[in-house]
Structure 1
Amino acid sequence: MTSERPDNYPALPGIRQRQLHDIEGMSVRILEAGYETPNRPLVLLLHGFPELAWSWRKVMPVLAQAGFHVVAHDQRGYGGTTGWDGRYDGDVAAFRTHAYALDAMRVVFALGHRSVAAVVGHDFGSMVAAYAALVRPDVFRSLAMVSFPFDGPPALPFGDADHAPTPPGPPLAAQLAALPRPRKDSMAFFASPEAEADMLHPPQGLHAFLRAYFHVKSANWSGNYPHPLTSGSAAELASLPTYYIMDQALGMAATVAPDAPSPEQAAANPWLPDADLDIYVRAFRRTGFQGALNWFRCHTGAIGRSEIALFSGKTIEVPTLFVSGKADWGTYRKPGALERMRTTTPRMAGVNLIDGAGHWVQQEQPERFTSALIGFLQEQGTEP
């Protein structure tokens, strides 16, 4: 990653920013609200891809007003957190989910808390939050997953000592590539060596690329009508928008370009004006995307499978909430995950799909999102 000093976020009322040093060898930038009053219960917010702690700017003051100490940090590979190796040929294992969960716990402890009232994770941050609650329920005492449901560790073979192994079928990548219109999964693309250059130096420019990417995954784009999938076949997956199941020959920049908003639509965007989008543009122009993309390499590869398989059969034993936008395909992206999540989280408090929001629900509909989160915390008896 670049050694340039990261820009500060713009000042926001009621929110301060600072660096926490020596967090797993990193300097971690945090945003913090409700810090003035000691001994408040802590709510930890974990952003997704391609986002930053800045993504929580609209909900942090409201949570603080409700009596919580609220913290969001730039996760490993992102923004103002420094000290990570973002090379493609660097230490990829440093970006596994386990490392992100440990980072989160170190932030909690550094701030003088032994536990959090809730860990809230969006997008890939939902996977990190779920993993943290799975392995350390004493620290992460309730869980809110946003946009991506965690359906539990994989089942391991059992009682198969006297059975011959079942030959595996063709991998999903091969099945997608064999379709009449050859396709590929965006998760696999993000794990590929060409992903960073495609997104960091797109023909339309970084600002226009990110504008289009945020647009097509939001409720603003008319093509988002999510629904549950049934078979999980390659042909069915190919019915998802191309930002999830891509044309095989295209990168992400070319995938989202045809559906980019017009200049007039972009200027009228009420939840992500250009001044806010520019925060992301400057951050990723400085750091690049590779550090962030390395999580996908772990998650989709052997590292991710092996670390989560250790917990096969274990459930999340803390109160849990799932929140997503009604226009967010992330809810159904992994066929059957939403249904399996209920078994993985026996203390599930509810599934809340919010009107008028797509994938960026805490930015698109911050009032409805924060109301759902505060209601969940109050139901668990988490009183400031």
Structure 2
Amino acid sequence: MPALPDIPLPAAIRSRFVEDINGLRIHVLEAGFETKGRPCLLLLHGFPELAYSWRKVMPALAAAGYHVIAPDQRGYGRTTGWDADYDGDLAPFRLTNLVRDALGLVSAFGYRSVDAVIGHDFGSSVAAWCALVRPDVFRSVALMSAPFAGPPPLPFDTADKPAAPKRDDPVHRRLAALPRPRKHYQWYYSTREANADMHHASQGVHDFLRGYYHHKSADWKANEPTPLQSWTAGELANLPTYYVMDLAKNMAETVAPEMPSKEAIAANTWLPDRELAFYSAEYERTGFQGGLQWYRCGTSGAFIPELQTWSGRSIDVPSCFIAGKQDWGTYQRPGVFEAMQKTACTNMTGVHLIDGAGHWVQQEQPDEVSRLLLEFLRQAGRDPGCG
């Protein structure tokens, strides 16, 4: 492999590799490594992001006394050992194997447990499953920008009833039949074309990512989310086009009209072009298919039976939820935000919607996210003092 360029990181963070973790060579960003014996925090990114997405909060967490590790997850960045073949085996990308990746990584660092697993976007789902499956290892959990509804239920009291017919969710046909035909982004991300649409976007990967990050941020002033009432085509059509797309457009075409002006890009402080350039260089090198495999695991339904193993279980370790107030992701699946607080998490100490942040909350408002995470860790009894 040719030498990879240096990562533009704060001085408190270093880049390294950890070998032989569940078949992977994992690239990790690490802070608070200078002294031994610190309690550990594991940070899990989402799509289309990288461990780099945590660069703005890692120094504050390390300064509070923690050893902070943030991997490029399976399918992403500089982590290798995964297969991005669309026709390959999806099983390595299923949620339970992503939990196994996390377990293997913290074990390799010499930890029997971590004080918290903190996940953003799709990483929030992995963090939730970590806390559900291994609460002895993941002693608290912070979910960010993607609420958790709990494990899928098992069919109940069916022995003396006729077998229910299996059928596809009609919402996709109904979205396509709307006066303004639409499609759901997760099912688009599961198509064979999605990777090439983004990797070979007509505007280039850099400008595609600029438009995508802008569209889902608080900088896009039309992001004024409200709860949806039901999983129906009419309700889902209220979501912005980055979630419920125009039927005839791919994602690169969807975000292109929302590209910020040169002046707005120059004024952006939470993702200046020199930092975006690292994301775009990594995705130009790897493509997007590794991350898209995660969506395919979900939309295929193939791994629901495995997840039903934990049907009826809740997250009982201390938990919190943090998201941007301008983030539609909190509400994109009707009822999940409420279910997280009522049934899925039995020890939720706080729900925080940060004004001035959209979906990329730990990048848009890193100081407030850091403050809330440290407050949560204190409430959960995970305060290390001054390391």
TM-score (norm. length: structure 2): 0.96
Q: What runs of 5+ residues in structure 1 fail to find an aligned partner?
A: none
CA distance in 2, matches of 1:53, 1:165: 45
Is the 8 Å Cα contact of residues 4 and 286 (structure 1) preserved in structure 2?
no
Residues paired across the two proteins, number: 382
User: For residues 181-231 of structure 1, what are the alpha-carbon distances to aligned partners after superposition, in whole Å with 9 as ceiling and x for unaligned?
Assistant: 211100001111000000011111111100000000000001100011112
The percent of aligned pairs where both chains have the same amino acid is: 56
CA distance in 2, matches of 1:45, 1:161: 43
Q: Secondary structure at the match of 1:303?
A: coil
Q: Which residue is equivalent to 2:67?
A: 69
CA distance in 1, matches of 2:26, 2:211: 29
Is the 8 Å Cα contact of residues 63 and 370 (structure 1) preserved in structure 2?
yes
Q: In the alignment, does 2:352 pair up with 1:352?
A: yes
Alpha-carbon distance, 1:306 to partner: 2.3
User: For residues 284-308 of structure 1, what are the alpha-carbon distances to aligned partners after superposition, in whole Å with 9 as ceiling and x for unaligned?
Assistant: 1111111111111002212332222
CA distance in 1, matches of 2:140, 2:273: 35
Q: Which residue is equivalent to 1:179?
A: 178
Q: Secondary structure at the match of 1:310?
A: helix
Q: Which residue is equivalent to 2:78?
A: 80
Q: Secondary structure at the match of 1:45?
A: strand
Alpha-carbon distance, 1:318 to partner: 0.7
Alpha-carbon distance, 1:5 to partner: 4.8
Counterpart amino acid of residue 274 in structure 1: D
Q: In the alignment, does 2:1 pair up with 1:7?
A: no
Q: Which residue is equivalent to 2:115?
A: 117
Q: Which residue is equivalent to 1:243?
A: 242
Q: Which residue is equivalent to 1:36?
A: 34
Instruction: Map 1:84-123; keep pairs closer than 5 Å.
Output: 84-123=82-121
CA distance in 1, matches of 2:294, 2:173: 22
Instruction: Map 1:13-24; keep pairs closer than 5 Å.
Output: 13-24=11-22
CA distance in 2, matches of 1:46, 1:220: 24
User: For residues 100-156 of structure 1, what are the alpha-carbon distances to aligned partners after superposition, in whole Å with 9 as ceiling and x for unaligned?
Assistant: 111111110010111110000000000000011110000111000000001011222
CA distance in 2, matches of 1:26, 1:255: 34
Q: Which residue is equivalent to 2:290?
A: 291
Q: Secondary structure at the match of 2:302?
A: helix
CA distance in 1, matches of 2:303, 2:43: 22
Is the 8 Å Cα contact of residues 96 and 303 (structure 1) preserved in structure 2?
no
Alpha-carbon distance, 1:339 to partner: 0.6
Alpha-carbon distance, 1:175 to partner: 1.9
CA distance in 2, matches of 1:89, 1:125: 24
Q: Which residue is equivalent to 1:142?
A: 140
CA distance in 1, matches of 2:116, 2:2: 34
Q: In the alignment, does 2:202 pair up with 1:203?
A: yes
Alpha-carbon distance, 1:7 to partner: 3.4
Moved more, 230-239 or 51-60: 230-239
Alpha-carbon distance, 1:24 to partner: 1.3
CA distance in 1, matches of 2:119, 2:380: 18
Q: Which residue is equivalent to 2:189?
A: 190
Instruction: Map 1:248-327; keep pairs closer than 5 Å.
Output: 248-327=247-326
Q: Secondary structure at the match of 1:225?
A: coil
TM-score (norm. length: structure 1): 0.97
Counterpart amino acid of residue 48 in structure 2: P
Counterpart amino acid of residue 345 in structure 1: C
Q: Secondary structure at the match of 2:117?
A: strand
Q: In the alignment, does 2:385 pair up with 1:362?
A: no
Q: In the alignment, does 2:231 pair up with 1:232?
A: yes
Counterpart amino acid of residue 252 in structure 2: A
Name the CA shift for 1:188/1:162 in 2 (closer, same or farther; >3 Å).
same
Alpha-carbon distance, 1:157 to partner: 1.9
User: For residues 223-258 of structure 1, what are the alpha-carbon distances to aligned partners after superposition, in whole Å with 9 as ceiling and x for unaligned?
Assistant: 100011112211110010000000111100001111
Q: Which residue is equivalent to 1:132?
A: 130
Counterpart amino acid of residue 356 in structure 2: G
Alpha-carbon distance, 1:313 to partner: 0.6
Q: Which residue is equivalent to 1:216?
A: 215
Alpha-carbon distance, 1:166 to partner: 4.4
Name the CA shift for 1:107/1:22 in 2 (closer, same or farther; >3 Å).
same
Alpha-carbon distance, 1:347 to partner: 0.5
Ranges of 4+ aligned residues in structure 1 off by more than 6 Å: none
Alpha-carbon distance, 1:12 to partner: 2.2
Moved more, 310-319 or 360-369: 310-319
CA distance in 2, matches of 1:54, 1:258: 27
Is the 8 Å Cα contact of residues 51 and 71 (structure 2) preserved in structure 1?
yes
Counterpart amino acid of residue 143 in structure 1: V
Is the 8 Å Cα contact of residues 9 and 279 (structure 1) preserved in structure 2?
yes
CA distance in 1, matches of 2:243, 2:2: 33
Is the 8 Å Cα contact of residues 7 and 80 (structure 1) preserved in structure 2?
no
